[in-house]
Amino acid sequence: MNVSREALTSDGMETRGGFRDECGIFGIADSEDAANIAYLGLYALQHRGQESAGIATLDGELVRVEREMGYVADVFDEARLSRLPGRAAIGHVRYSTAGASHLANAQPIVFATGRGPLALAHNGNLVNAREIRRRLEQSGALFTTTSDSEVILHLVARSKAPDVASALAEALLDVQGGYSILVLSLEGIFAARDPHGIRPLSLGTREGSPVVASETCAFDLIEARFERDVEPGEIVRLSRAGVTGRRFAIANSTPCIFEHVYFARPDSTVFGKSVAASREAFGARLAREHPAEADLVVPVPDSGMYAALGYARESGIPFALGLVRNHYVGRTFIEPKQAIRHFGVKVKLNPVRDVVEGKRIVLVDDSIVRGTTSKKIVRMLREAGVREIHMRVSSPPTMASCHYGIDTPTRRELIAANSSVEEIRQFIGADSLGYLSTEGMLEAFGRPLQATCAACFTGVYPVEIPEEELEKEGAVAR
């Protein structure tokens, strides 16, 4: 166990600066190869979290778990997977921005409870976890992690409800935020989404066994058939007998638009829509809102690829791969030291001089967060002889932090929260800069603002953020 003490606050939770989750979850209810299939499923979800990976299986009455810091491919080998017998499995990949190792927080989290062993895998963030944890600790609960997810297991374990499904329903009425969760128990695997359905979670079938995953790209890999999404406010039980669902809360669906802008894989269908199609539509709309006189449309790979395709199609300007990404860069190499981080963008991206030299280009990326990536890319492109750089961003200015499970810096560090578009243009050094409008993004997404979580762009949070969380983030003046 290696938990960074500096990152802990007196209430045992970590500060926003020290701990944020982006995660992927996967489950399979009834298969001879449960652990192996979960391993493959996590492989397809690796983009959702690269810090740790874990799988828990149910073998008879026993839950076993293997988890470790690192990529799925590094954490699991044949020997490790063979230590995970059983026909039901859940898995988790996690990413947090904390520099220190956090094995204690790797998931699935496993608890021995009065209703048998329970394992939990969680994607998202609970905004009232701190408050619930305080309440539980006052009545004697001992927490084993600093993660917000653990409160759910405590609530389930303490519930007097007759079965896991009812106990989970009770627990989920207590927590608030954006969450998709899986619970492995003697009564089957339970999958649930928060009443706002902020994070994705889809159901499928593989050789007669129910499967569940954050994104449908996991089903493609394991040759499962997509069935439907877990509905907002629904708990679904997956078992040998099949799938049964029940509502635990009234749905008020506001899915996260940033999943479509950046986070999800383009080959996934998320919230019933193709992510690739959304991104192309954002790019096409961007071309109409911010045209440019240019010779080429160049994406920032990989995140700007589909939006750049949409921009090129709509504008008629040729699409060109003027930047190449090195796909063999691990996060761990570029993260730890300031001296090394300086090379970060250069390690990842390199211009193709032959393609871009002497050209006027439209440079397309999905978002500008702190502005440091765009600044470095613009400088690299100028060094490669690009004549004009018209930066186009396929989402609106990122104005506010996410409190529902996407890693974003605090408001203080978000360039758009503190500068005008013209100031940002000057900072990154582009000849012009244009962002997709919020209306344009929503129209291309096909949902109105009141049926979408676009808090990172609008600062309007569909699930209220407790004052103490905002204070920790520095978003309110004191």
Specify the DSSP class assigned to residue 263.
Answer: I
* Rg for the chain, CA atoms, rounded: 22
CB of residue 325 vs ligand AMP: minimum separation in angstroms? 11
Interaction between residue 171 and ligand AMP (CB under 6 A):
no
Q: Which is nearer to ligand AMP, 55 or 276 (CB)?
A: 276
- Closest separation in Å from C-beta 2 to ligand AMP: 24
Member of 367, 401, 438, 452 binding ligand AMP (CB under 6 A): 367
Q: Which is closer to ligand AMP, CB of 406 or CB of 463? A: 406
The answer to whether 200 and 213 have CB atoms below 8 angstroms apart is: no
Q: Is 407 in the site for ligand AMP (CB under 6 A)?
A: yes
**Active-site option among 23, 217, 256, 456:** 23
Residue 416 contacts ligand AMP per CB under 6 A: no
Rounded to a whole number of angstroms, the distance between the first and last alpha carbons of the chain is 35
* Residue 365 touches ligand AMP, criterion: CB under 6 A: yes
Q: Which of 37, 84, 296, 368 binds ligand AMP (CB under 6 A)?
A: 368
Residue linked to tokens 């944020």: 20
Contact 96, 21 (CB under 8 A): yes
Residue 123 as a binder of ligand AMP (CB under 6 A): the answer is no
From candidates 105, 216, 268, 303, binder to ligand AMP by CB under 6 A: 303
Give the integer Cα–Cα distance in Å for 471 and 477: 8
Is residue 406 involved in binding ligand AMP (CB under 6 A)?
yes
Question: In angstroms, what is the minimal distance from the CB of 345 to ligand AMP?
Answer: 8
Given the complex with ligand AMP, which of 259 and 469 has the nearer CB atom?
A: 259
Rounded to a whole number of angstroms, the minimum distance from the CB of residue 306 to ligand AMP is: 12
Instruction: List, in sequence order, every residue forming a beta bridge with 117; answer none if it has no partner.
Output: 112
Q: What span, in angstroms and rounded, lies between the C-alpha atoms of 162 and 216? A: 33
Q: Which of 290, 350, 358 is nearest to 321 (CA)?
A: 350
- The strand order across the sheet containing 22-28 reads 62-69, 52-59, 88-95, 22-28, 209-213, 202-206, 225-229
- Interface stretch with ligand AMP, choices 28-36, 120-128, 364-372, 436-444 (CB under 6 A): 364-372
Answer yes or no: 402 catalytic: no
Rounded (5°) CA angle 425-427-428: 70
Question: For the chain, how many helices (H) and strands (E)?
Answer: 20, 21
Q: Does 14 bind ligand AMP (CB under 6 A)?
A: no
370/387 with CB nearer ligand AMP? 370
262 binds ligand AMP (CB under 6 A): yes
For residue 199, which of 257, 245, 150 has the smallest C-alpha distance? 257
Tokens of residue 144, six digits = 């084993």
Q: How far is the CB of 394 from ligand AMP (least distance, A)?
A: 10
Only one residue has tokens 């492989």, namely 43
d(CA 309, CA 277): 10
* DSSP 3-state of 25: strand
457 binds ligand AMP (CB under 6 A): no
Using the rule CB under 6 A, which residue among 46, 252, 350, 372 binds ligand AMP? 372
Q: According to CB under 6 A, which one of 277, 334, 369, 380 is a site residue for ligand AMP?
A: 369
The least distance separating ligand AMP from the CB of residue 415, rounded to whole angstroms, comes to: 7
Q: Any residues with CB less than 8 A from the CB of 296 and at least 6 apart, and which?
A: 317, 318, 319, 320, 322, 355, 356, 359, 360, 361, 362
Residue 36 or 367 having the CB closest to ligand AMP:
367
* CA gap 218, 26 in Å, rounded: 8
CA–CA distance, 356 with 375 (Å, rounded to integer): 17
Nearer to ligand AMP, 117 or 405 (CB): 405
Question: Looking at 2-10, 184-192, 272-280, 404-412, which segment touches ligand AMP (CB under 6 A)?
Answer: 404-412
> Is 52 a binder of ligand AMP (CB under 6 A)?
no
Is 373 a binding residue for ligand AMP by CB under 6 A? The answer is yes
Q: Are 43 and 73 in contact, with CB atoms under 8 Å apart?
A: yes
Q: 85 or 344: whose CB is closer to ligand AMP?
A: 344
Residues annotated catalytic, as ranges? 23
Site residues, ligand AMP (CB under 6 A): 262, 300, 303, 365-374, 406-408
